[in-house]
Amino acid sequence: MPGRPTVEKDRGEAQINPTKRTVLEVQNLSINYISEGKPPARAVENVSFTLKEGELIGLVGESGCGKTTLMLSLLRLLPSAGQIVDGKVFFNGKDLTTISEKELNKIRWKEISIVFQGAMNALNPVRTVGDQIAEAITKHMPDFPKDKIQGRVIELLDLVGIAADHKEHYPHQYSGGMRQRAMIAMALACNPQVIIADEPTTALDVMIQAQILELLDNLRKKLGLAIVFVTHDLGVVAEICDKVLVMYGGVTAEYADVDTIYNSARHPYTQELLKAFPDLTKPKKKLSSIPGYPPRLDALPDGCRFAPRCPVAIARCHTEQPMLHKLGDMHIASCHLVEASK
Amino acid sequence: MSKENFLEVRGLKKYFDAGRPALFSRESRFVHAVDDVSFNLRRSEVIALVGESGCGKSTLSLLLMGLEEPTEGTISFEGRDITHLNDKERKGLRRKIQMIFQDPYESLNPTQTIEEIINEPLLVHGIAPDKSERDERVKKAMEDAGLKPAEVYLYRFPHELSGGQRQRVVIAAALVLEPEILLADEPVSMLDVSIRAEIINLLAELRITRQIAVIFITHDLGSVGFFADRVAVMYLGRIVEIGTMLEVLEKPQHPYTKALLSVIPVPNPRLRRERIILQGETPNPIDVPSGCRFHPRCPVAISTCKHSDPPSITLSKTHQASCLLLVK
Ligand SMILES: Nc1ncnc2c1ncn2[C@@H]1O[C@H](COP(=O)(O)OP(=O)(O)OP(=O)(O)O)[C@@H](O)[C@H]1O
Ligand SMILES: Nc1ncnc2c1ncn2[C@@H]1O[C@H](COP(=O)(O)OP(=O)(O)OP(=O)(O)O)[C@@H](O)[C@H]1O
Ligand SMILES: [Mg+2]
Ligand SMILES: [Mg+2]
């Protein structure tokens, strides 16, 4: 019965596989936004994660917690106020924070590409979607044979489930779900190894969201893509991710494989987020919310950034920032209480 | 007055003129945005109206507000036919039926303070001519909407509030007229999960403290669970299933409801389950499919579904669904 979740065997396993090659390794990355006359805003602090071939990682956190900032920094696409102040980003062994612009341009779009947040609403309204995809191909691959471009556009549209005859249509003739598919097609234009999708389903309804999740899941199986899926919705990533990074106010709250995050989370923020979720197996249960609001970057608390909202905070939490504690091979949480119970 | 005829909707239709398909075509075509909808809302009852984007949810609520003129059908409130009213009658009614619009951020004027925003409906309706009485009502509406203490927020501007607080301002501006019905069009879809729960809890409280009936519009069946009394599932302009919350969530009968339920994300990978992912989108309401309007996307359709439009089948006193497979 669909009302009651049933365990489906062949879809349940996460893909964490130690023998797979690491493609992206982010180490202790910190990013500040600098504005004159003000102290730097510490938008991202000491965040690390790794991504292997064919793996799908979920990056989850409330609005303003630094998800987009972190993703843009990986390809050094931050606005000029945003500066990487510490950390490294290794892609196939190369540190993207130090290589030249010229070298980085060989990686942008060709190896790692981003589906930008809200970009589906920024398609040019007076040009056909097919034209815009063709332009993405020529812009990133000037040597691409001209006579093969239209064929490639059709191939890309097909990959994301859009029939070829929609090529000549304008963005307003596309629904929201189709526009998002077109954005994914553009990101795939140069056959990248990694796709970063920043909130690709946030504005879409649940059925279209399910379609996009299915599409991304199929693409990684078919093309061996590694995917970073950015969302504020912890439920969405449970469906397809292998591991999850939960961010709070610019820092890592918890980082673990998907099963650990949903069944043995140790950070109070992760635990509270899970409780805020409607559970259809208990429809009468009142939802729990997390009172208060995320910290403002210009007025960060002295201790743990979550302490002012944390239901189990102790005195120390308000004065001292917690470190990242390793709780297992693939499990990290930044909480003083975790350390105490270790 | 019987509880039953608080708000009654019968055979409601709204067809928008979509123009002629070609210059010399004789007949113009119509968008069947709302296509024969009937239901009752009881006093202080919460109905969740659920369906995909474009199925006609917002149009239905605009009809109920009198902001769109129905093509056919009737709406009555407290036994009185309110389908066609003049401006004066409409204004009087608007105090009793209030709406929270789909894009709350756009409905807040950035140059007004919170106090001005919430005061405005009182001025427009000429309610409480006395300033101190107005202040009192503004304050009460704010505190009922969880903006406590009101003094902290009164003189702020919308951009100085968080997303959840802004949504509370929108709710307070609807509450200040002390309505009996609140139409909430996707009030939480744009919000973070942690704030979503807070706003749903707030609405659940209001129906108890203020005895307000709520029509809660959403595309996400998952968010209506604990506080809806009944759930109405809409597909392409029509209610295809309606029942108590437990009937719809635990014993869904229409294949569309089953699919909608199956794609609600479950926040636990151990409970990953089979999802019935409907392909494509809701068909264009200009060309409504023949027979059962859901048949082209239905995973269990049989050949008769192409030709006959299913009647509403009564499954219990409170539960109806329109599907040929349910015909005994
Ligand atoms: N150009 C900028 N200058 C200064 N601060 C900025 C700039 N861009 C973003 N910020 C701040 O950095 C923080 C992180 O923003 P970011 O956009 O990365 O958040 P996010 O997690 O992607 O949020 P959302 O879910 O709303 O997209 C926020 O507090 C934001 O206000
Ligand atoms: N003024 C109008 N003129 C013509 N067509 C309209 C008008 N308003 C709505 N429609 C069409 O009527 C149908 C129903 O739209 P409506 O906005 O009611 O859907 P909805 O269920 O609220 O969707 P969403 O979840 O996207 O808000 C859509 O096909 C829409 O394009
Ligand atoms: Mg963002
Ligand atoms: Mg709508």
Q: How many angstroms separate the Cα of B186 from the Cα of each of A203, B169, B190, B257?
A: 12, 15, 8, 18
Q: Do B198 and A204 touch (CB under 8 A)?
A: no
For the ranges A265-279, B233-247, B279-293, the maximum mean pLDDT occurs at B233-247
SS3 A212: helix
CA atoms within 13 Å, Cβ hemisphere of A258: 27
Q: What was the ipTM of the complex prediction?
A: 0.84
Residues sharing a CB contact under 8 Å with residue A294, sequence separation 6 or more, in sequence order = A62, A63, A64, A65, A248, A249
- Centre of ligand 1 to C-alpha A43, Å, is 7
Tell me the ligand closest to A33's alpha carbon. 1
Residues A97 and A138 in one domain: no
Residues A147 and A34 in one domain: no
Paired tokens of A105: 């341009």
- Centre of ligand 3 to C-alpha A309, Å, is 22
Last residue of a domain, one of A234, A264, A294: A264
Instruction: For residue A108, give the DSSP letter.
Output: B
A 29-58 residues inside an 8 A Cβ radius of B: none
A 204-223 residues inside an 8 A Cβ radius of B: 204-211, 214
- For the cut 60, the answer to whether the pLDDT of residue A1 exceeds it is no
Q: How confident is the model at residue A272 (pLDDT cuts 50, 70, 90)?
A: very high
Residues sharing a CB contact under 8 Å with residue B29, sequence separation 6 or more, in sequence order = B17, B18, B19, B20, B21, B286
Domain ranges of chain B: 5-96+179-250+265-270
Residues A280 and A158 in one domain: no
Candidate from A312-316, B52-56, B198-202, B212-216 with smallest mean pLDDT: B198-202
Residues A317 and A206 in one domain: no
Q: Whose CA is nearest to atom 26 of ligand 2?
A: B53
Selecting from A204, A235, A273 the residue whose C-beta is nearest the C-beta of B265 gives: A235
- Tell the burial category of A281 from Cβ atoms under 10 Å away from its Cβ (0-12, 13-18, 19+): middle
CA atoms within 13 Å, Cβ hemisphere of A286: 9
- Looking at the domain B5-96+179-250+265-270, which fold is it? Rossmann fold (3.40.50)
> How far apart are alpha carbons A261 and B2 in whole angstroms?
51
Task: Give the per-residue pLDDT at A3.
Answer: 32
- Which residue of chain A is at minimal alpha-carbon distance from B251? A3
> How far apart are alpha carbons B319 and B313 in whole angstroms?
9
Residue reference for tokens 């008769």: B304
Q: Whose CA is nearest to atom 8 of ligand 1?
A: A69
pLDDT tens digit string along B65-116?
999 999 999 999 999 999 999 988 888 888 899 998 876 566 788 899 999 9
The mean pLDDT of chain A is 89
Secondary structure (H, E, C), B107-145: HCCCCCCHHHHHHHHHHHCCCCCCHHHHHHHHHHHHHHC
- Centre of ligand 2 to C-alpha A158, Å, is 28
Residues A28 and A175 in one domain: no
**What total number of domains does chain A contain?**
3
Q: Do B251 and A284 touch (CB under 8 A)?
A: no
- Centre of ligand 4 to C-alpha B209, Å, is 28
Residues A39 and A75 in one domain: yes
Interface test with B, best of A67, A169, A205 (most B CBs within 10 A): A205
* Count of Cβ atoms closer than 10 Å to residue B161 Cβ: 18
Residue A14 counted as domain residue: no
pLDDT tens digit string along A288-303?
888 887 888 878 899 9
Residues sharing a CB contact under 8 Å with residue A89, sequence separation 6 or more, in sequence order = A24, A25, A26, A27, A29, A73, A74, A95, A96, A97
Domain range enclosing A72: 20-124+185-264
